[in-house]
Chain A
């Protein structure tokens, strides 16, 4: 476990909540820096959770989604895990500094939650096609062993989620169009009776990826990823899904 002294305190991420509160998160160069997908996922889950319940934030990074849901008063208990030790340490730290309680564990997917079930699982494990992730700048110090088409980890979470969901529980997950959305949704439909799209947002291709259009084009032609050329730019999307029985 990485000690507190090894953290780099100068990087902060701040999040304005809909209730006017602002949460401050410490981050570092060793972990994933929250993106628009983070806030889209948070907003989608916040709008869907009708009653408070136990929440697992899996692939929590620095803990933004889970801690914010707790700050909205939606968590009877908050658990969070990530394959990155640094992320887990920062999640613990950020929970304390934002006045919320968390059980944070280092874990490869559900390994540290074998006998535990939750009302809500919010998945955000890395889900971009590996070749694209490698050149994207999003995953500089973050594990993204999501396979050639980017669907591997998300499909694993979907497959294992039913064992970790209480009756009536819900799984939330983002799907990045720079991964195999069709495969992921097919897996979700195999494992759950109901799968619905909650929100979708379009993004322009980041500068880091522009020199790699040949790779993107090839993967799009293979049917592995999708993006569109429109309005003078290349547009990819994040879609937030909810699955339950």
Chain B
């Protein structure tokens, strides 16, 4: 995939949580989702990279993003987001 929509980013993030009780939306972050730990975070990064066919790994800032909003804007900055 060349780029992702915000909805696809949310789905990718949500997929990382095995607990169906966890809901992810545009405002979710490591601060308000208790289960969003470093392991889940790595899973998110790897999944984004798979979906974006290896382009996410080249975005250095992505690893430091702590929320859906930050991920979305970081992808947008690198032309990896479809508005």
Partner-B contacts on A (CB < 8 A): 18, 36, 39, 43, 201-204, 230-233, 235
Contacts and interface: CB of A to CB of B under 8 A. Distances in A.
Nearest to B62: A231
Interface in B5-51: 18-20, 38-39, 42-43, 45-46, 49
Contacts of A233: 42
Contacts of A43: 18
A203 B57 CA distance: 15
Given A18-B20, A230-B49, A230-B57, A235 B42 contact: yes
A218 to B, nearest CB: 23
Nearest to A40: B18
14 contacts: A18-B19, A18-B20, A43-B18, A201-B43, A202-B42, A202-B43, A202-B46, A204-B38, A204-B42, A230-B45, A230-B46, A231-B42, A231-B62, A231-B63
Q: Chain B: interface secondary structure?
A: helix
A231 B57 contact: yes
Contacts of A203: 39, 42
Contacts of B42: 202-204, 231, 233, 235
Nearest to B54: A230
B31 to A, nearest CB: 20
**Which has the most chain A C-beta neighbours within 10 Å: B20, B46, B49, B62?**
B46
A235 B46 CA distance: 9
Q: How large is the interface on B (under 10, 10 to 19, 20 to 34, 35 or more residues)?
A: 10 to 19
Given A43-B18, A231-B46, 7 more contacts: A18-B18, A18-B19, A201-B43, A203-B39, A204-B39, A232-B63, A235-B42
Interface of B: 18-20, 38-39, 42-43, 45-46, 49, 57, 62-63
Contacts of B39: 36, 203-204
A18 B17 CA distance: 12
Contacts of B43: 201-202
Contacts of B62: 231
Contacts of A232: 63
Contacts of B49: 230
Contacts of B45: 230-231
**Which has the most chain B C-beta neighbours within 10 Å: A204, A231, A233, A235?**
A231
Nearest to B46: A202
B76 to A, nearest CB: 19
B56 to A, nearest CB: 9
A230 B63 CA distance: 9
Contacts of B20: 18
A231 B42 CA distance: 8
A202 B49 CA distance: 12
Contacts of A204: 38-39, 42
Contacts of A235: 42, 46
A36 B38 CA distance: 14
